[in-house]
Amino acid sequence: MHRLGSSPSSSETSSAIILSLSILISFLNVTSAAAFNVSTISFNDGYTPLFADFNIHRSSDGRSANLLLNRYAGSGFISSKYYDYGFFSAKIKLPANYTAGVVVAFYTSNVDVFEKNHDELDIEFLGNVKGKPWRFQTNVYGNGSTSRGREERYNLWFDPTKNFHQYSILWTSDKIIFYVDGVPIREVVRNEAMGGDYPSKPMSLYATIWDASSWATSGGRYRVRYEYEPFVSEFTDFVLEGCAVNPLEQLPDSMDCLEKKAKLETAEHADITPEGRHAMKWFRERYMYYSYCYDTLRYPIQLPECLIVPSEQLRFKENGRLKFGVIPRRHRRGRAGRRKVTRESSDRDTAM
Ligand SMILES: *[C@@H]1O[C@H](CO)[C@@H](O)[C@H](O)[C@H]1NC(C)=O
Ligand SMILES: *[C@@H]1O[C@H](CO)[C@@H](O)[C@H](O)[C@H]1NC(C)=O
Ligand SMILES: *[C@@H]1O[C@H](CO)[C@@H](O)[C@H](O)[C@H]1NC(C)=O
């Protein structure tokens, strides 16, 4: 797990997300078309406890599991196998109420096998003070490229604590797609110039909840408050697709490995449809509040996989911060909720 060296401020917005009717309609058209044709598995069929087994509560039918964070420990599970490319998905419901400092992560990694040159694909949810929305970030590391953060940060268009929502990572030999409820939110197309920065060694799937008091919410200003324990993150509809292998020998476990890879690469969700592109644009132009690709202070020379999308770039200043509705720093000290701030002005503060 890696993080932005962030120093967000207190003026995060608590205003509700308002969708215009036309946006809502275009979004609904997309999601109804984007249901994945995949089968779900039980917890025991795919996963094993990673740490603090006592804080992992499995449902009696074995189809779901809750991960708890309390004053004794966080908790986590890991896929029992490593996958040589794959599709990883789960429906997740995040803890409600006061969750500042809490991080829920759903990610692939092989750091346990390749300590110095691991690969990783992250979806990390960042808790917040009561009444303020969870945010999340995605990241990509290949072969230990942890000095080249490829973070993007976003808001969600729904409250992730009210219901289960589906979060998915597609990883093939030529592209990575992150999905939320079937909406592609980020695509990384492999580029020759990325070299080893493109994750290409077998990874397992991890899910964890942990105390990230020192950085997760407003740069560590709001810590986990254990009077609200336990923090419970619920997981269900587990999907693990791909070719299971021994990560060191990289020999397929099964004869049908080639078939599984072919199935993965030809699956509908391995390509973004025109409707999917439309939804991705909709999402990124409204909910993305940081992308390393637009952060020219950090990367004066863009990393090679970055595709500059003018309508996205418009949102950001030269330094990568959101540029709309900016409220001068000296005016941002008042009590939360007093002042009407735009979504963008508050988002800007939390970028990096
Ligand atoms: C879903 O996948 C199965 C097995 O891979 C296939 O037989 C079936 O035709 C697919 N269904 C649709 C609607 O694509
Ligand atoms: C959140 O807080 C309210 C009021 O304190 C309580 O009724 C509710 O059960 C809490 N929800 C969760 C998920 O803890
Ligand atoms: C990955 O890193 C290892 C160790 O640093 C290096 O030997 C290897 O060449 C790298 N692989 C790629 C594809 O860059």
pLDDT of residue 319: 85
pLDDT of residue 35: 75
pLDDT digits (tens, 9 = 90+) for 284-324: 999 999 999 999 999 999 999 999 999 999 999 988 899 86
Does 7 fall in a domain? no
Q: Determine the distance separating the centroid of ligand 2 and the alpha carbon of 224, expressed in angstroms.
A: 16
Does 5 fall in a domain? no
Does 139 fall in a domain? yes
Ligand nearest to the CA of 232: 2
Return the percent helix, strand and coil in the chain, to nearest 5: 20, 30, 45
Closest atom, ligand 2, to C-alpha of 228: 14
| Active site amino acids | 120, 124
Does 106 fall in a domain? yes
- Indicate the pLDDT class of residue 88, thresholds 50, 70 and 90: very high
pLDDT of residue 215: 83
Q: Determine the distance separating the centroid of ligand 2 and the alpha carbon of 266, expressed in angstroms.
A: 44
Ligand 2 pocket: which of 97, 99, 226, 227 to mutate (most atoms <8 Å of CB)?
97
> Could you tell me the CA-to-CA distances from 122 to 177, 205, 282, 303 in Å, in that order?
11, 10, 22, 18
pLDDT of residue 318: 85
Does 2 fall in a domain? no
Quote the domain boundaries for residue 337: 21-350
- Which of these ranges, 68-72, 130-134, 196-200, has the smallest mean pLDDT? 130-134
Does 138 fall in a domain? yes
Q: How many CB atoms lie within 10 A of CB 63?
A: 17
Residue whose Cα lies nearest atom 10 of ligand 2: it is: 97
Does 218 fall in a domain? yes
pTM of structure? 0.85
pLDDT digits (tens, 9 = 90+) for 163-189: 999 999 999 999 999 999 999 999 999
- pLDDT (average), residues 270-281: 97
CATH number of 122's domain: 2.60.120.200
pLDDT of residue 47: 98
- pLDDT (average), residues 200-224: 91
- pLDDT (average), residues 34-54: 93
Does 193 fall in a domain? yes
Mean per-residue pLDDT over the chain, rounded: 85
The structural domain count of the chain equals 1
